Structure 1
C-alpha cells in the first residue's frame, strides 16, 4: 500500500504595488500595441533577414507577455534584453528595436495611468448619496433614503 502523496502548492505570484496592477483591459491594449510594433519590425526588416519567418519571430507572444507582466520594472533597454534572451531578433545588438519596445512600455505606462484615473473619476461620478435632506424646519431634519422609496426619517437636532 502506497503512502500519502505529498503535494506542494504552486508559488503565489506577488501582488502588484498600488498603481501597478494590469487589468484585463490594460493587458488587451498592450497586446494590441505590441502586435502593431511586431509588424513594424517585420516590415522594416531586410528581406534577406526575414526569409520565410513569420512576424511572431521578431517579437514572440511569450516575450510580449513577459514584458507586459514586468512593465513597471522595465526602465532600460537592458531590462528588456534580459527578459527576451531567447529572442535573437531582440539581442543587445538590436538597440533600435529594444529602444522601440522601451518607448512603447513608457507610453503604455502613461496610458495605464490615464485609464486608472478615468476609472476613478467614473466611480466617483456614479456614487450617489443614500440619504437626502428633504425638509428642514427649525431644528428638525426630514431625511429620505434613496434605497427605501417613500420612507422618511425625522431627526431633531438638540440645542
Structure 2
C-alpha cells in the first residue's frame, strides 16, 4: 500500500477536525489513448457534513500530487429509474497557478467522460477509466 500523500493527509486532517465527519474518499485510474498515453489517478475526498470536497491528481511516474478544487457541479440529466447524471469541473492548481480544468461527467458510480483542458494552450486531453490498473487503495502503474 502506498503511503498517503501530504495533500491527502492535509485534506483528511482538515476534515477530521469536525466531529462526526462523514468522509468519503474515491479514486479512479484513467488513461488517454494514442501513441503516447497519459495515465493518472484522480482522487477526491468529500465531507458531506460541511458540503466540502477537494482532491488531487497524480500522474503515472510522478511522486508529486497536483491539488484540484471543485469550480462547479451541475446536474445534467435526471432519468426516471436511473441514477442522475452530473458534470463536475475541477480546477488544477500547480505552483500557485491554475494550469487547467478537469471536466468529469458521471452517472451513478460510472465516469462517462473525463477530459483535461490546458489553461496554457487550450489543448484538450480525453481519458477513459483504466480498470486493469485499479488496485484496492490506489492505481497500480
Question: Same-fold call, TM > 0.5?
Answer: no
Q: TM-score, normalised by structure 2?
A: 0.22
Q: TM-score, normalised by structure 1?
A: 0.21
Q: Which has the higher strand share?
A: 2
Q: Which has the higher helix share?
A: 1
The structure whose RCO (Cα within 8 Å, separation 6+) is larger is 2
